[in-house]
Structure 1
C-alpha cells in the first residue's frame, strides 16, 4: 500500500507513521518531487508489507519531527490475501472537480458545458466506500481537468490551484481505498491563455504528463519492467489488471508526438524506447495467461486505458486475442457504451468492451434517462452521469453500471467460466 501527499514547501523527510492502533508503531520513509517551482512538493511512501488483509490501519504523514497531518485510516483489502478472494472495483473515466454551481463556468465554448456536475458520482462513490461495497477505484484518465481551469478563472494561472483542490476534494475517498489512475489526454499539458502567454514558466514544466507522473505513483515497480505511471499492471484478488497507455509510445496513439494542444513546440511521449511499451504488454499478458492456465494466478485478465477500444484495436487487438483478455474498459467519450466485440479472423471469441466516460466533467451536461437503449442488449448505450462496479470471483465476472444521481441500475452483464 502506498501513501501520497503534498506540501506547500520543501521538508527534510517524507515519513508515514502507521499501525493497527493509534500508537502508530510502524514507519515508512519515501521521497518527494517538484515539477513546478514555487508550487509545492509531492510526496510518496510505500508501507512495508505484508499488511494484514481486512485489518484497519491508522496513519499520518509528515516530516518525521513536528509537522504532521491528522490521523487517517484505511482497511487493508481482503483481496490482498490472494486470487481466491472476491473483489469489487469501481471503474469510471473523465471525472472533473465538483460542479458548475460551486465552480461557475465563466466561458462555455470549445466543447465546454455551462452546467455540469461531478458531484453525483463523487457522492455515490463515497457511499459505496462507507458501505464497504468496493475495494478500490480505477479512474481511467482525465483526472480533475486541471487543464480546463481557465474556463473558471479567465485571467490567471489556475492549473495548480485546480489540481490541488481536486486532490483535497478526493481525499475522503483516496485516503480510505486504493485509488488507481491511468493517463488521459487532459493530463498531457497546460494550454490555457495564461500558460500560452508564458510558455517557459508554465507550458514547458507542465508538458508531457509531468503533473500526472509527479503527483501519482502507481504500482509500476512490480510490473515486470514497467518504468512509470504510463503503463503498469497488478493483481487484485481474481483480477489481473493492466493499465494501458492509450496516449503515447505507439504508432497512432492520441498524443503520440505532442500533447493535447498538438503544438510541435511541446512534444509528448518517449517514456520508453521505440517498441518498448507493446513489448512490455505482450510479456505481461503472456505471464498472466500462463499463471491463469497453471491455476495459480488470477482467473480474469482485465485491461483498460483512457480511450475506447476502437482506438487501440489495430495495435493491441492481436495481443488481446492471443492471451485471452476478458474485458477492456475505457473513457474519453462522455457517455457509456457496452458491447461484445468480436475479434478479427473469423473467431467466435469476443471481448467485453466498455466505454464508461460519463462520471461528470465540465465537458458533459446531464441528459434525461430516456436517452438510452434497453438494458441487457448485446450493445448498450447511455449518456447519464454514471460509474460502474466490476465484481469478480474465480468463476464469474459481473459488470454493473449505476446512475450516479440516484444509484439505479442502468446496465448489467456477467461472464462465466
Structure 2
C-alpha cells in the first residue's frame, strides 16, 4: 500500500512540475560572492522548500562555530510550470583578512557538507590571482576540469565569469540553470564568483541571472563595482543596449552610474590607492570573428546616434584593461581606441600604453562550439585563437599585470592545458589618455 501511495504522489507532483526528492530541503547550488567589501562574503544557495536561511562558520583553526541568519526569496521560473525554488542569502560580515574559514549551509538533517573558503589579504599590496572566462554551458564545458584542478590547487583568489551561463538557465523550466549551478558549486563555493549578464540570460527579463547571483549592485546586479587589492573592477551589462524592450532608461541609468563610478575611481586619492581600473562586460567593443554581425555592431562602443557610447569614458578616465566574452574565442588587442593602435613603443607595446587594452575570452566551452575569425586580422588584433580555454590573470603590484591564455583542446603544437598566449601589461602612470 505504501509503495502505491508513493507512486501516486510522485505522479501528482511530476504533473504539477514539482521536483520530487526526499532531500527537497537540502541546500544545493552553493556559491560565494563579495559583499560591500572583500571581507564580507555572501553565501547564496537554493532549496526546493522554504527552509531556514542559516550559515555556521568558524576560523579554520578554531573549534567554536558562529551562526548567522539570513533571508530567502521564492523565485518562480517564467516557464509554463511556474516552477518555484527558494534562494537563500547570508552575509558573513567583517571576517578576518587572509584567513581560511570552514562553513556549513543549513541545519541538520538538511545541511551541506563542510565547505571552506579563504578571505583575501587586507589592503592593496598583494598579488591578485583570477580565473576569467565567459560562455560556459552545462554541455561541452571543456574548461571546467582544468578550472576545478586549478581551484583545488588554490591558484586563484576569485573568478570572473563574463556572461552567458548554462545555455540556458531558463531551459527545461529552469532545470538547466539548476544543473549548471550544481556543476559550478565545487568552484563557486570555494572562492568568490563574480559575474555580469550576457545575452543568454535575457529570458524573463534576466530573472534567472538577477535571482541566482548575489552581486553588490543595486540595479538587479546588472552593473556594479568592487575593489580588490590594487584594482577597481567595474561590471557592466552590455545587454541593456540590445534588449531595449526592457527600456532605454537602463541605458541612461547605467551610463550615468558608470561615469560617476569612473570619476570616483580615477580621483587622485583613489587612484593613488588602487591605480588599476578594469572594466568587464559581455559583448566586446572590438572583435574579428566571422560568425555573425556582432563584430560590426558594437552599440556599447558607439551608443545610439552617438549618445551613451562607453568607449569615450574609457579614454576620459584612463581605464587600463577591458575584458569581454560573447565570441567563443580568445582575442587580444594592441592598446586601442577608436579603431586606432596606441602602443607604448614599437619594442614594448604594452609598457605605458596610450590607450586601453581589450581582451575577449569567451571560449570556456558550450554547446555552440567555438567561433571562427575573418581571414585577415584587423590591424589592432595582436593575437587570436579559436581553441577552447580560459584566461589566468595576476596583478602583481600597482605597475605590473601578467595575463595568459590556457588552451584545453586543439592547441596547435601544444598539449591540453598549455599556455598559448601571454603578456605583461606595465603602467608606471595610471591617468586619462591624452592626445587621442
Tell me the TM-score normalised to structure 2 length. Answer: 0.73
Pair member with larger Rg = 2
Cross-structure match for 1:231:
223
- Tell me by how many angstroms 1:292 deviates: 5.9
Determine whether 1:330 maps to 2:316.
no
Which residue in the other structure is 1:218 paired with? 215
Aligned length: 343
- Residues 410 and 335 (structure 1 numbering): CA distance in 2 closer, same or farther, change over 3 Å? same
| Residues 265-318 of structure 1: per-residue CA shift (max 9 Å, x gap) | xxx357x6662211110111111111566522x121010111112422121011
1:302 aligns with 2:294: no
State the shift of 1:171 in Å.
0.7
Alignment of 1:225-264 (within 5 A): 226-248=218-240, 253-257=241-245
Tell me how far 1:147 sits from its aligned partner. Answer: 5.2
Describe the superposition over 1:175-227 as per-residue Cα deviations: whole angstroms up to 9, x where unpaired: 101111110011111xxxxxxxxxxxxxxxxx10111111111122xxxxx43
* Helix, strand or coil at the partner of 1:9: coil
In 2: Cα distance, 1:292 partner to 1:383 partner: 41
Rounded to whole Å, the distance in 2 between the matches of 1:350 and 1:126 is 35
Bigger relative contact order, structure 1 or 2 (CA pairs below 8 A, ≥6 apart): 1
Alpha-carbon separation, structure 2, partners of 1:135 and 1:76:
8
Of 313, 316, 335, the residue aligned with 1:319 is 313
Alignment of 1:93-108 (within 5 A): 93-97=134-138, 99=139
Higher mean C-alpha displacement, 357-366 vs 400-409 = 357-366
1:29 corresponds to which of 61, 64, 69: 69
Gaps of 5+ in 2: 1-40, 77-81, 287-297, 303-308, 343-353, 410-415, 429-436
**Residue matched to 1:45:** 90
CA distance in 2, matches of 1:292, 1:128: 36
Question: Aligned partners of 2:56, 2:394: CA distance in 1, in Å?
Answer: 32
Mapped contact 2:327–2:371 kept (Cα < 8 A): no
- C-alpha distance in 2 between matches for 1:269 and 1:16: 38
Among 174, 191, 196, the residue aligned to 1:177? 191
Between the aligned partners of 1:373 and 1:394, the Cα distance in structure 2 is 36
Provide the secondary structure at the position in 2 that maps to 1:302: strand
Looking at structure 1, the residues matched to 188 and 375 of structure 2 have their Cα atoms a distance apart, in angstroms, of 31
CA distance in 2, matches of 1:92, 1:39: 30
Change (3 A) 1:345 1:293: farther
Cα deviation digits, residues 108-161 of structure 1 (max 9, x gap): xxxxxxxxx21x311111111122211111001101112584xxxxxxxx1421
Compare the two structures and name the one with the higher strand fraction: 2
Instruction: Return closer, same or farther for 1:372/1:292 CA change in 2, 3 Å cut-off.
Output: farther
Find the counterpart in structure 2 of residue 132 from structure 1. Answer: 154
Task: Report the CA distance shift for 1:209/1:84 in structure 2 as closer, same or farther (over 3 A).
Answer: same
Alpha-carbon spacing, 1:394–1:365, altered in 2? closer, same or farther (3 Å): closer
Out of 38-47 and 235-244, give the one that drifted further.
38-47
Residues 166 and 180, structure 2, Cα contact 8 Å, conserved in 1 = yes
1:353 aligns with 2:358: yes
Which structure 1 residue ranges, 4+ long, deviate > 6 Å from structure 2? 371-374
Query: Relative to 1, partners in 2 of residues 1:58 and 1:65: Cα closer, same or farther, differing over 3 Å?
Result: same
Task: Determine which of 87, 112, 134 is the counterpart of 1:69.
Answer: 112
**What's the counterpart of residue 285 of structure 1?**
262
Q: CA deviation at 1:381?
A: 1.0
8 Å CA contact retained: 2:170, 2:177: no
Deviation at 1:54, TM superposition (A): 2.4
SS of residue matched to 2:110:
coil
CA contact (8 A) 1:28 1:47 kept: yes
Q: Which residue in the other structure is 2:104 paired with?
A: 60
Name the residue aligned to 2:369: 364
Asked if structure 1 preserves the Cα contact closer than 8 Å seen for 2:71 and 2:89, the reply is yes
